[in-house]
Amino acid sequence: MASPAASTTGIGARIPRRELKRLLAGHGRYIDDIRLSRMLHAYFVRSPHPHAKLVSIDVQRASRAPGVAGVLTAVEINPRCEPFVGVALHRAGHRSAPQRLFAAERAVWQGQPAAIVLADSRAEAEDAAELVEIEWQPLPVVADQFQAIAPGAPVIHHGMPDNLAFDFTLEQGEPAKAFAEADVVIEEELRFERQMAMTLEPRGLIADFNPSDGSLTVIHAHQSPFQMQEIFANYLGIPEHKVRVVAPDIGGGFGLKLNVHCDEIATVVASVIFGRPVKFCVDRLESFVSDAQARDHRIKCRIGCKRTGEITAMEIDDIGAVGAYGMPMRFNVAEGMMAVVMTGAPYLFNSYKARTRSVYVNKNLIGMYRGVGMPLACIVGELLTDLAAHELGIDTVEFKRRNYRPKSTLPCVTPGGQRLETVSFHECLERLVGLMDYDKLRREQRELRERGIHRGIGIGTFCEQTAYGPPYYGPSGAAISTQDGCTLRLEPSGSVRCLTSLTDQGQGTLTAVAQIVAETLGIPVDDVSVAGNDSAISTYGGGAWASRGTAVGGEAALRASTILKENILSLASAITQTPADELSLANGQVINSKTGLSVISLAEVGRIGYFRQDTLPKDFDVQLSVNASFVANDKPYYMANGVQASYVEVDTDTGFIRLLGQWAVDDCGRVVNPLLVDEQVRGGTVQGIGAVLFEECIYSEDANLLNGTMADYLVPMAYEMPDIVVSHVETPETSTRLGAKGIGEAGLIGAMGAVWVAVNDALRPLGARITHQPFTPERVLDALARAKLR
């Protein structure tokens, strides 16, 4: 039974994130706040060309510049690290050229490192970098996916037959027949430009190799210290137990800080070579040319429906430009794979045809970024069904009511191969419709249209794979652990220390873990301290990424605290001569379950357990430090779901789009802390709105980045964003005791679908359709102009 104290701070309580007081006082310790003695600062000289031969490189002048300790090139750096081949073993035919840390003979993307300058200060390193003399000879460029697969296209990697990285097809049911039998077929071509994760704090690390004992400590703004421990050990040849990766406070991750970036590895190599700590903090201009990017997809898709409103078939053909190499460990085919396996997942239909291709281009690597392909799936499904519903004369909400997979069909496997068990499409939709007052908005929309004001309503339904398990990552061959662990220790004072394998980039995972421990042990959350972010001290585990922290690490904490509870009760039973099954924990006391009265305090249990074992029965086994790891062996993911709505207005004279309202309903199973979840959903929603309306890496036709500053790459700021109403339906995950699923990406996925549909809904009476993201004013105006020509 939860004690009164625990119920106000335990599972389900809206308590503030515990790190915030410190962070808001300016007392955070982010990577660039840390300095070690004898530390050098790194700055990279990068290829200014998307594709060029490196004719010569001369570092003599740079090496003699003030404050410079050395300048290293491919000659010194590359042999120190095994090449990365970023292919997933279970994806048949997936191939990539081996990636070296530095460009040696050729650079294949703009921003690829060619030299690292190490100096006493960052400014001096930048000064010296200007003195590195490199002769580049530009080569023909493969700038986009269609160029890449065109006959006779230059092949980026010697030794590969073409630029194709991966080609996957899927067919379920009888799509050809089903399309032929459809009364209505809607077909569209969608385009998603490249974008960036754009964490406010750019990437960074301090590598500290100690030559005297061969140990390596890396303070790394990374979401998965264990992943990086494995990489530093195996690729640099350092015994794994001598590698420690510690994450400091991190200024946002969103998947960016999950990738394997060659400049980060090179920083570690430089520390090994110099035997000194080396700091590399990416600045914003560098982030534009060095951060793994996201999206860059072209999708053809169609849907077939019967007059009656039933969906007969869907089809998607995706082609993604994944950059110059396969992303090590994290596999940039994932975006396309997720798009094709998730499309249409919320809907009842049987015939499905899908293809995704990933191709290499002379651009930076595509990596993990919030949502990975799932927003594309959401957009394809929601746009097609909305267009089909309208074509059939059925209101879009009514269409969803009819076509969503009802609870009665669960568990089921979708045509894309997705197993749905505890999803709640209809409940979420009805909640949403009520929150936004759908009918009233539709009336308002109709009235305003008569006055030339063009508003649109869009609904974005989604499934979200969260908390990947070993069936998902294991067969890929990547050493990515999907388990998490928790170590708990009762202190003699009766308080509890927790060590978790999780990390926290702001989500509040460590607070959620504290709540779970506090509730289970019947103590106030303030009596639990949580440490994480460190590969050396906790149980092995994954970290915080892919919407998994609380779902997996929280379950490990629940299991560890259950064991500790049993041990405490058993010890209390021995001390007090009361049967253990009559005892429970509440308010920091061991209580008699029947009377509710305190039998002994936790502090007294701790005192005796640690200092007066002599008073216990001979051979009584005191275990007040316990450990538990958790993973659901057979589950590839916990499927979460939700639905969002957007209300937008399009200025048809200028092409500007204004968000008037946004509503989000999600089902992430059990919500451990609604306060943290709500704003995380809103944050994801704003990133999703940003993606649809603003964010784009603009490249020239020959693959030069044209907008590499924050003045030109637009992220959503406060003024343009709407208030966002958030609500939760809770359908617990059944394979865990905690019942939590992930929530990290939900906001972004649903928002992107909702805004896409809403803008197109606004343009509908004008006969215009916009399918090229982001929806810039120019693209809106172009869509309107095309409609006029028709």
Partner 1 sequence: MKARNFRYVRPASLQEAYRMLAEAGGEAVPIAGGQSLLAGLNMRLSSPKVLVDIGNLAELTGQSYADGMVRLGALTRHRDLLSSAIVRAHLPLLAEAAPHIGHIAIRNRGTIGGSLAYADPAAELPACAVALGATLVLGSAKGERQVKAEDFFKGLFETDLRAGELIVEVKFPEVPTGTSTGFAELSRRHGDFALVGVAALAILRAGDIESARIVYFGCVDRARVAVSVSAALSGVAVPLEDASPYAAAIRNDVKPDDTPGLRADTKLHMATVLTRRVLNSMVE
Partner 2 sequence: MGDVELIGDEEVEVVATLNGKPLKRRAKARQHLADFLRQELELTGTHLGCEHGICGACTVLIDGRTARGCLTLTAQISGKSVETIEGLSDNGRLAELQQEFIARNAAQCGFCSSGMLLTAYELVQGGEKLSRSEIREHISGNMCRCTGYHAIVDAIEAVLAKGLR
Residues that bind partner 2 (CB under 8 A): 16-17, 19-21, 23-30, 32-33, 65-66, 121, 123, 127-128, 198-202, 249-252, 254, 283-285, 505-508, 675-676, 678-687, 709-711, 715, 717-719, 721, 723-724, 747
- 452/719 with CB nearer partner 2: 719
- 100/370 with CB nearer partner 2: 370
Q: Tell me the backbone φ, ψ of residue 147, rounded to 5 degrees.
A: -60, -40
Structure-token pair, residue 212: 């005297």
Minimum gap (Å) between residue 779 Cβ and partner 1: 9
- 618/719 with CB nearer partner 2: 719
- 174/720 with CB nearer partner 1: 720
Measured distance CA(496)–CA(494) in Å, rounded: 7
- 29/191 with CB nearer partner 2: 29
Q: How far is CA 214 from CA 271, 276, 751, in A?
A: 11, 12, 48
Measured distance CA(563)–CA(26) in Å, rounded: 38
Handedness of CA 377, 378, 383, 388 (dihedral sign): positive
Structure-token pair, residue 284: 């914003």
Measured distance CA(47)–CA(286) in Å, rounded: 12
Among 24, 92, 200, 711, binds partner 1 (CB under 8 A): 711
Burial of 310 (0-12, 13-18, 19+ CB in 10 A): middle
Minimum gap (Å) between residue 664 Cβ and partner 2: 9
Structure-token pair, residue 82: 């095994």
Handedness of CA 498, 468, 460, 401 (dihedral sign): negative
- 150/285 with CB nearer partner 2: 285
Q: Which does 198 bind (CB under 5 to 8 A by kind): partner 2, partner 1, none?
A: partner 2
Pairing of β 625-630 and β 638-650: unpaired
- 456/716 with CB nearer partner 1: 716
- 562/652 with CB nearer partner 1: 652
Minimum gap (Å) between residue 198 Cβ and partner 2: 6
Minimum gap (Å) between residue 78 Cβ and partner 2: 29
Asked if residue 283 binds partner 1 (CB under 8 A), the reply is: yes
**Contact stretch for partner 1 (CB under 8 A) within 28-36, 455-463, 735-743, 773-781:** 773-781
Asked if residue 720 binds partner 1 (CB under 8 A), the reply is: yes
Among 176, 285, 531, 536, binds partner 1 (CB under 8 A): 285
Q: Which does 778 bind (CB under 5 to 8 A by kind): partner 1, partner 2, none?
A: partner 1
Minimum gap (Å) between residue 25 Cβ and partner 1: 21
Q: Which does 707 bind (CB under 5 to 8 A by kind): partner 1, partner 2, none?
A: partner 1
At residue 279, the 3 state secondary structure works out as strand
Asked if residue 719 binds partner 1 (CB under 8 A), the reply is: yes
Q: Which does 706 bind (CB under 5 to 8 A by kind): partner 2, partner 1, none?
A: partner 1
Minimum gap (Å) between residue 700 Cβ and partner 1: 8
Q: Tell me the backbone φ, ψ of residue 415, rounded to 5 degrees.
A: -60, -25
Find all residues with CB under 8 Å of 322, minimum gap 6, and list them: 165, 296, 332, 333, 335, 358, 359, 360, 361, 365, 366
Minimum gap (Å) between residue 238 Cβ and partner 2: 30
Q: Tell me the backbone φ, ψ of residue 456, rounded to 5 degrees.
A: -135, 150
Find all residues with CB under 8 Å of 574, minimum gap 6, and list them: 616, 617, 620
- 127/745 with CB nearer partner 1: 127
Measured distance CA(301)–CA(305) in Å, rounded: 14
Element (H, E) at 645: strand 638-650
Structure-token pair, residue 289: 């040319």
Q: Which does 254 bind (CB under 5 to 8 A by kind): partner 1, partner 2, none?
A: partner 2
Structure-token pair, residue 730: 């809770």
Nearest to 144 by CA among 10, 376, 322: 322
Q: Site for partner 1 (CB under 8 A): how many residues?
A: 28
Minimum gap (Å) between residue 264 Cβ and partner 1: 19
At residue 421, the 3 state secondary structure works out as coil
Q: Sort residue 88 into left (φ over 0), alpha (ψ -120 to 50) or beta.
A: beta
Minimum gap (Å) between residue 111 Cβ and partner 1: 14
Point out which residues pair with 645 in neighbouring strands: 459, 663
Minimum gap (Å) between residue 724 Cβ and partner 2: 5
Q: Which does 678 bind (CB under 5 to 8 A by kind): partner 2, partner 1, none?
A: partner 2
| Binding mask of the shown chain, residues 111 to 150, with x at each position contacting partner 1 by CB under 8 A | -----------xx--xx--x--------------------
Query: Do residues 259 and 367 touch, judged by C-beta distance below 8 A?
Result: yes
Minimum gap (Å) between residue 748 Cβ and partner 2: 11
Query: Do residues 626 and 539 touch, judged by C-beta distance below 8 A?
Result: no
Structure-token pair, residue 337: 């794979």
Q: Which does 776 bind (CB under 5 to 8 A by kind): partner 1, partner 2, none?
A: partner 1
- 279/741 with CB nearer partner 2: 279
Find all residues with CB under 8 Å of 644, minimum gap 6, and list them: 432, 459, 460, 662, 663, 664, 665, 685, 747, 750, 751, 753, 754
- 625/707 with CB nearer partner 1: 707
Asked if residue 778 binds partner 1 (CB under 8 A), the reply is: yes
- 366/686 with CB nearer partner 2: 686
- 154/252 with CB nearer partner 2: 252
Minimum gap (Å) between residue 542 Cβ and partner 2: 19
Minimum gap (Å) between residue 616 Cβ and partner 2: 43
The number of helices, as runs of H, and strands, as runs of E, in the chain is: 22, 29
Crossing angle for the helix pair 396-403 and 425-436, nearest 10 degrees? 160
Find all residues with CB under 8 Å of 88, minimum gap 6, and list them: 94, 331, 333, 476, 477, 478
Among 208, 264, 678, 696, binds partner 1 (CB under 8 A): 696
Name the one residue in this structure whose structure tokens are 């120019």.
Answer: 778
Asked if residue 714 binds partner 1 (CB under 8 A), the reply is: yes
For partner 1, the binding residues in 639-658 under the rule CB under 8 A are 653-656
Measured distance CA(613)–CA(81) in Å, rounded: 52
Minimum gap (Å) between residue 435 Cβ and partner 2: 15
164-172, strands of its sheet edge to edge? 164-172, 351-359, 311-321, 294-305, 184-195, 772-773
The site for partner 1 (CB under 8 A) is made up of 122-123, 126-127, 130, 283, 285, 653-656, 694, 696, 698, 706-707, 709, 711-712, 714, 716-717, 719-720, 776-778, 781
